Structure 1
Amino acid sequence: MARYDYIIVGAGSAGSVLAARLTESGRNKVLLLEAGPDDRRFWIQVPVGYGKSFYDPRVNWMYMTEPVPELAGRASYWPRGKVLGGSSSINAMVYIRGQAEDFEDWKAAGNRGWGWDDVLPLYKRMESHAWGESDYHGGAGPLHIKAPTTELHPICEHFLAACEEAGLSRNPDFNGASQEGVGTFHITVKDGMRMSASRAYLWPARRRANLHIVTGAEATRILFDGRRASGIEYVRRGRTEHARAGAEIILAAGAVNTPKLLLLSGVGPADELRSLGIEPLLDSPAVGRHLQDHFDVGLIYRSTVPTLNNQLHPWWGKYWAGSRYLLTRGGPLALSLNQAGGFIRSRPGLARPNVQVYFSPLSYLKAPPGTRPLMNPDPYPAFNISVSACRPTSRGLLRLRSADPAESPEIRPGYLATEHDRQEVLEGLRFLRRLAATPTMQRLIAEEIEPRPHGDDDEALLAHARAHGVTVFHPAGSCRMGPDPADSVVDPTLRVHGLDGIRVADASIFPTLPSGNTNAPAIMTGEKASQLILGNAA
């Protein structure tokens, strides 16, 4: 049986960081297990290639939730990365850290070392920002951050002008002194290529003699000696294999697969495990609970001016964009489709922004999972604007269907379960209608098209949200961090309560969702975990 100092399960946003940081000194022998394949694939590295991976089971877990009561019984499709780099290899690349207050909230909940002053240096350590070193950005880190300007579609400027007419201010940097306002998104792209956590951290580290990366290896059980984690059982090419760790096991498999692996290993709600024939090792009631996600509702408008649809729908437009990309690493294929947006306060009296706005200079029909590998733009000029509540209060859960590791878990996201969340959806949609009424938007909009609300009252707007709202792909909190084992899974050092030799480091540990996209906080969590493990944390 192979033996290592550390075994990392999951080569995603945090796992890639850990593999690189723990092997930097050359002293630690590390095994990195990834269920998916290598990420050196054309459509993984092309920024807009996430349209190709959205329904590709080779690199995507393609989870489906249970029917959601508040969504009129609709299930929600949850793409999650199953490839080196994890979801950072298939996401929309928007780089948002969250608000300083988010991390102060984590600290106030008993998570010492996770306040804004603690995590800002980690973010700066991560970054090689296009604007260089500053009070808010790093200039020499492994993760390259692009701040697109002239490359963006011209219609983005119309959107920003309309937002100003609606009373919002412009903000050139949502990761700067303040998150509030509207502007263009910074993205994890360098030289026209996706800057996933794998490309940033693993690629420079993968030739190290003390790092062993095994792809196509799905972890099925944590091995324990008493209550000390000592190894991992995994399946590769149909064979069951085992590896041992002398120092620690680190679970970085994400907000779905990390709690799933703990539950399969007997760590979770004891009665629930017994009902499935799994002997509990540790009664840990919070495993799989407190599941959170950002929920998005949008409106689509037919445009009076050309949008990306005009460029990317016809075959000759695809050919032109592809040729330009291959020759110059530029053009629309080198960017995200989420090009502009912002953070707003949806009502007076709020201390900070509570709603995120997304603007995409195109529209597309999303196929049911498995029916079409590429999201195809609609055959007419159109654009999409959507909103999501930054800090939802609804909570869901994740649990096993059976003791079979090959079976997907039961996911109940709990969208719109609270009055708070329903109210913020209503306020977000009312903002979009107010934005559409500005002079600039009135010149830009030919018509609001289906799917759309049929009315302006609360009932009609909520009916639209229930029928058409979707995940923003930000699941978190299912192994949340906190000081109390009764309602959290890991302590502030990321050690699993009640066990030795095992930590969790991924978005599942977030006590609450950060205000914005979650990839940057997940990478930061990997940086934090590496410092905690190596004894370098303040």
Structure 2
Amino acid sequence: MQLDYIIVGGGSAGAVLASRLSENGAKQVALFEAGPDTPPDDVPDVIADSYPGLSYFDPRYHWTQLRVYNRSPRLNSQPPKTAKLEQAKVMGGGSSINGQFAVRGLPHDYDEWEGLGLKGWGWEGMLPYLKKLERDLDFDGELHNRSGNIPIRRVFPDDWAGFTRSVLKATEADCPYQPDYNASFEDGSFPLPLSNENERRVSTAVGYLHKEARARKNLHIFANAFVENLIIEGKRATGVRVTIGGDTKTYSAREVIVSAGALHSPAILMRAGIGPAAQLARLGIDVVADLPGVGENLTDHPHIAVGAHFRKSARLRPGQRRHIFLGVRYSSNHADCHTGDMLLMPVNRAGWHPLGKAMGALNVCVNKSYSRGTVTLKSRDQNEEPIVDLNLASDGRDLMRLVDGFKRIYRIMTAPDVQRHVNTWFLAGYSDEARALSVRKASNWIKTASAAYAFDYLPFFREELLKRKFGTTDRMHKMMQDEELIVEWVKQSVWSGWHVSGTCKMGTEDDPLAVLDDRCRVRGVEGLRVVDASIMPTIVAANTNITTIAMAEKAADLILESVN
């Protein structure tokens, strides 16, 4: 089969590219996804569920061996520890397992890209694609579209749980309530928009690889297909070597597009000889193109949180699936930081299990972060995960904004309206133990059911257990008297927002770390592009999924323009 385009990865970007590039029936398109397919008429309930805590932690849809350093081993005096990081291995990628938040970022996020020399990637150039992808079920007007592939809706305050309503009362004096997050660029308290319709997730595997797209004779979709390597002849990418069901074959195409995400795309390039020459040579990989920026510029949104055990008045209604409704966007006013750089979210459920339904959290996130990490190869073996150093909160601006975020959380949690809904609150984070409990299985239900009963009816047991595992409110009162205690806790507890990006960034020729040009073409290699969250030069002040879809929409037009 002579292919025009091979797409490596069927995620948030890859599914969009496959759909758009195959609309022209003359182009033969092959999409290879390492995980299972989720066609629109056969989406597993765990993925379709409005409550994302099921798919987020289901090992059937992840790269289960992937572990990362939240804090860089170069920064810690103590032995560095790795943590799991859930990265999707399923059709639709992150859009099949993420929190379903459909937020765009702010105009200055994109204007920053254009200011770096990326013509057409500013707000004016990106807005048409941010609109093109959406079918907004609540709002219309010049900033919206009612006919795109991804439905977007919100849960409004009448349906919010008691805890969220009390947090809104504590924040709206400084951040007034506004209904439309994506059409307002000011600080405010907003219902968070969702890529969800009729209480079901709509991933790119459903919204773009729809029934009509799948019926095209020129679109070839391969699931459970692991791309072993790129085929490079001289300075040109000519195809891929893929294993499907134990069978390994080579597929050739006029152009190869890598859309494997911000951790795996740079690893694929490096194994093919595209990356920092010295690192590749150490691993015995022949250098095709010396691009020092491959795997650099890794950016994420660092989070911290406090947990809470709720009184009945705070909890979700029986049967209610969504658990995060409100996003409070605020400006830290920290030196050299953009406006709207922070996000605070009350979480009304801590898990699918009985104990999780009685607990929640208040999260704060640096939504416009400056710390940079790296992705490097451990070996040339394609089955071995790369070394991922997120290096969270290494930039002082990120660290101190999280410290300030903790103080804001403290003030909200001690507000009388919030206290009425909370039995107790405590320092929280994402440990491996918490992640293990988040996997839905009978043994976890049994464990948590007895704990849920004890937490509700045996306050002494609850307080003692939380004190032993997390630290009591007394510890938080002390932290508020000594900022250094907050700094140390933030360093130990900061966790990833699952928004890895930037590791194959676009840039101008005079940028030594630019991997791609402004048409997503890999520098120094013909017939090869990268299109996914890795191409962002800087991170947007938003969950990255909607921006990634919009970038793929734009990239599809750029690719088709180049051959017409």
Name the CA distance, whole Å, in 2 between partners of 1:15 and 1:442. 45
Counterpart of 1:496 (choices 517, 522, 535) is 522
Name the CA distance, whole Å, in 1 between partners of 2:393 and 2:198. 40
SS of 1:425's partner is helix
Question: How many residues are paired up?
Answer: 503
Counterpart of 2:62 (choices 53, 60, 63) is 60
Are the structure 2 counterparts of residues 536 and 435 from structure 1 closer, same or farther at C-alpha, using a change threshold of 3 Å? farther
Counterpart of 2:94 (choices 84, 87, 98) is 87
- What TM-score do you get using the length of structure 1 for normalisation? 0.89
Counterpart of 1:293 (choices 289, 300, 305) is 300
252-261 vs 49-58, which deviates more? 49-58
Give the CA deviation at 1:416. 1.5
- For 1:358, give the aligned amino acid: M
- For 1:354, give the aligned amino acid: D
SS of 1:531's partner is helix
In the alignment, structure 1 residue 414 sits paired with structure 2 residue 416: no
The aligned residue for residue 237 of structure 2 is: 229
Q: Tell me the alpha carbon deviations over residues 29-86 of structure 1, each in whole angstroms, 9 at most, x when there is no partner.
A: 1000000001234234433453233333321113211473457633232111111100
SS of 2:19's partner is helix
Gaps of 5+ in 1: 312-316, 322-331, 365-374
SS of 1:455's partner is helix
- For 1:288, give the aligned amino acid: G
- For 1:184, give the aligned amino acid: P
SS of 2:381's partner is coil
Name the CA distance, whole Å, in 2 between partners of 1:56 and 1:441. 32
Counterpart of 2:343 (choices 345, 356, 359) is 356
Name the CA distance, whole Å, in 2 between partners of 1:505 and 1:528. 10
The aligned residue for residue 526 of structure 1 is: 552
- For 1:487, give the aligned amino acid: L
174-183 vs 48-57, which deviates more? 48-57
In the alignment, structure 1 residue 481 sits paired with structure 2 residue 506: yes
Contact 1:298–1:385 (CA<8 Å) still a contact in 2?
yes
SS of 1:202's partner is coil
Counterpart of 2:542 (choices 516, 525, 528) is 516
Q: Percent identity?
A: 30
Contact 1:13–1:523 (CA<8 Å) still a contact in 2?
yes
Are the structure 2 counterparts of residues 384 and 239 from structure 1 closer, same or farther at C-alpha, using a change threshold of 3 Å? same
The aligned residue for residue 8 of structure 1 is: 7
Name the CA distance, whole Å, in 2 between partners of 1:517 and 1:112. 23
Gaps of 5+ in 2: 428-469
Name the CA distance, whole Å, in 2 between partners of 1:92 and 1:351. 25
Name the CA distance, whole Å, in 2 between partners of 1:533 and 1:65. 33
The aligned residue for residue 330 of structure 2 is: 344
Aligned pairs (5 A) from 1:427-506: 427-450=404-427, 451=470, 453=476, 455-456=479-480, 457-484=482-509, 486-506=512-532
The aligned residue for residue 435 of structure 2 is: none
Q: Tell me the alpha carbon deviations over residues 457-513 of structure 1, each in whole angstroms, 9 at most, x when there is no partner.
A: 222212322333211100000101101362111011111111111111100001111
In the alignment, structure 1 residue 384 sits paired with structure 2 residue 361: yes
Name the CA distance, whole Å, in 1 between partners of 2:152 and 2:555. 22
- For 1:126, give the aligned amino acid: L
In the alignment, structure 1 residue 29 sits paired with structure 2 residue 36: no
- For 1:65, give the aligned amino acid: V
Are the structure 2 counterparts of residues 379 and 290 from structure 1 closer, same or farther at C-alpha, using a change threshold of 3 Å? closer
Name the CA distance, whole Å, in 2 between partners of 1:380 and 1:211. 43
Name the CA distance, whole Å, in 2 between partners of 1:87 and 1:536. 28
Q: Tell me the alpha carbon deviations over residues 364-396 of structure 1, each in whole angstroms, 9 at most, x when there is no partner.
A: 4xxxxxxxxxx5352684431111112221111
In the alignment, structure 1 residue 156 sits paired with structure 2 residue 181: no
Name the CA distance, whole Å, in 2 between partners of 1:528 and 1:222. 24
Name the CA distance, whole Å, in 2 between partners of 1:288 and 1:43. 35
SS of 1:260's partner is helix
Give the CA deviation at 1:162. 1.4
SS of 1:378's partner is helix
Name the CA distance, whole Å, in 1 between partners of 2:284 and 2:243. 21
Give the CA deviation at 1:159. 1.6
Q: Tell me the alpha carbon deviations over residues 406-437 of structure 1, each in whole angstroms, 9 at most, x when there is no partner.
A: 11111111111121111111111111112223
Aligned-residue Cα RMSD (Å) equals 2.1
